Structure 1
């Protein structure tokens, strides 16, 4: 069990756990997850941590098929600029290793924004807290558990 799975269990939300053999040589964790689980990649979401205005960390949850727009996540977070957060700070603040960062059960709960495309699906997949482990749950439950908001986050 990971903190992400424990958070879903504790909240009593309906979810499914999907495990697959992660290939350490894989460059794209999310695309690998979609392929190995046999799931449409538009339903598999990656968790990206950014620094907003050089001081605040925020989480963007976007489809693995998309690029996170720094301008749009900064705007959603009430800032002007965003950039990818320092990997060591991400690991320290979330408690997860890169490639396995879950939006759920983070050591320090960060402001979370979920791409609005998630609302089109009954369930989506996000990292459960380690490489090779995904949790499937409804977008609404993900928003509730993370305190997240839906926003347009994809780069055009």
Structure 2
């Protein structure tokens, strides 16, 4: 098990959630690849997207079926500018590489939004800290784990 997976699992347990991590046969760097391996709807994939919001990291847990509207997100969080973060920015903010960013286990808690579209699913799947791991959560667990605000993101 990768050290990042251990960090994520510890953070999930510390939040009072029973971890349900799954190791995939292949890296799943996209929602479609993850959904195909898990056997779920692509909309049930909770993409961990890190944005640069006026120079601060913003975690958006978006449905795999959504294309995030950065103007809407900026209005929602009161930022002048929200744009995709660089790989280095993501790594610094989360301690994880793009494609495997978990909703928790970061060096410090990030301001977060959780896509309300994910609430339509009994179970959602988020990255487990590496591109070959995912974990099953309920929408409420995801909101609790991230400390995020449920919001429309598209």
Is this contact kept in 1: 2:102–2:127, CA < 8 A? yes
* Shift in alpha-carbon separation, 1:76–1:4, aligned structure 2, 3 A: farther
3-state secondary structure, aligned to 2:141: helix
Q: If the length of structure 1 is used for normalisation, what is the TM-score?
A: 0.88
Q: Which of 2, 13, 16 matches 1:12? A: 16
User: CA 1:2–1:30 in structure 2 vs 1: closer, same or farther (change >3 Å)?
Assistant: farther
Q: Deviations over 1:87-129 (max 9, x none)?
A: 1021022000110011111112210101011122222111011
Return 5+ residue gaps in structure 1 as ranges: none
**Separation (CA, whole Å) in 2 of partners of 1:142 and 1:73:** 18
**1:15 positional shift:** 4.1
Instruction: Give unpaired runs (5+ residues) of structure 2.
Output: none
Structure 1 residues 69-80: aligned runs within 5 Å: 69-80=69-80
Q: Where does residue 61 of structure 1 map in the other structure? A: 61
Conserved 8 A contact 1:44-1:64? yes
Provide closer, same or farther for how the CA distance between residues 67 and 2 of structure 1 changes in structure 2, counting only shifts above 3 A. farther
Q: Give the root-mean-square deviation of aligned CA atoms.
A: 1.6
Aligned length: 150
Contact 1:2 1:128 in 2 (8 A): no
Q: SS of the counterpart of 1:129?
A: coil
Structure 2 distance, partners of 1:13, 1:133, is 17
CA gap 1:2/1:68 in 2 versus in 1, 3 angstroms:
farther
Q: 2:57, 2:93 within 8 Å by CA — same for their partners in 1?
A: no
Q: Deviations over 1:13-36 (max 9, x none)?
A: 14421221224xx7x522111101
Q: Give 2:140's aligned residue.
A: 140
Q: Is the 8 A contact 1:76 1:113 kept in 2?
A: no
TM-score, normalization: structure 2? 0.89
1:2 alignment partner, SS class:
helix
